Copies of this chain bind each other. A is one copy, B any other.
């Protein structure tokens, strides 16, 4: 049997980030990049995104070196890459956006190369839900479709987002966004309301408080957050989580309760490593042995024996 590919569609960015630990200037970022690199530790990835000609070749080379097919990465001649600038303070649970330059991302239309259409695992990283819908139209037979989003789309494109959610199997969302999207304070009830729209799995990301998975109306799994004394840069944590989750499931090829729980823990593992350095830097040195070791730590800290 050939490997299951993970198709990932989302933003590719050059990020300028300030945190109490330091700063990065025009460093590689974007939801598609974080999630693709995280997924690539477990399964081959097919990435769809857009960049300008200003993107340093080393970034594209890095992706290629990671079992990531970049045939779907559009390079706009003369264009400039999406740029986001943000700062984190205090508990770093939320970024203050200092600047957003959409650039080539403004006219992005995700087009899937023919070779991508057979992808069984599809992750729609955080972009305009109207674009997410055009991707779903192209992969009707995928085995597992997942979506991530953000507060901005809940406010500005609620109807499109609702339609996206009604057509996927897995929703990644943070606790504040889940409350915002449903108008329901209680997370268990809010997750049930999302389930009623269609998705089998609602995965609520709670930052330093870990993540919770709801399966068919019920909370079926709660994962702790890994205790880090230092967080260098939280950018991409949620994307790394989702990528690790999707990559692990694709790698196993079996969607069952045990693997879903493990996928949440692998997602948490990737996210916890990612925030220890700026940009994708920690992923560049991360080994499978380190992933296995932290996964075991995650098991240890929740052990009830």
Contact = CB atoms under 8 A, between A and B. Distances in A.
A229 B218 CA distance: 10
A34 B302 CA distance: 26
B261 A228 contact: no
A57 interface: no
A188 interface: yes
Q: Which of A212, A231, A262 has the most CB of B within 10 A?
A: A212
A303 interface: yes
Contacts of A192: 229
Contacts of A227: 187-188, 212, 218-219
Contacts of A212: 224, 227
Q: Which of A187, A188, A222 has the most CB of B within 10 A?
A: A222
A301 interface: yes
Contacts of A222: 210, 224-225, 301-302
B187 A208 contact: yes
A94 to B, nearest CB: 13
Chain A, interface size: which category?
35 or more
A300 B222 CA distance: 9
Nearest to A231: B186
B230 A186 contact: yes
Q: How many copies does the complex hold?
A: 2
Contact of A261 (B218, B219, B220, B303): B303
Given A185-B91, A227-B187, A229-B186, A302 B221 contact: yes
Interface string A214-251: 00001111111101111100000000000000000000
Contacts of A230: 186
A51 interface: no
A59 interface: no
A261 B210 contact: no
A91 to B, nearest CB: 5
A225 B229 CA distance: 23
Nearest to A304: B299
Contact of A305 (B91, B187, B258, B304): B258
Contacts of A261: 303-305
7 contacts: A91-B185, A91-B186, A192-B229, A210-B222, A221-B303, A224-B224, A261-B305
Interface of A: 90-91, 185-189, 192, 206, 208-210, 212, 218-225, 227-231, 258, 261-262, 265, 298-299, 301-305
Which 7 pairs from chain A and chain B are nearest by CB?
A: A222-B224, A209-B209, A219-B227, A302-B302, A188-B227, A188-B229, A299-B304
Given A220-B301, A302-B302, 4 more contacts: A187-B208, A210-B224, A222-B301, A258-B305
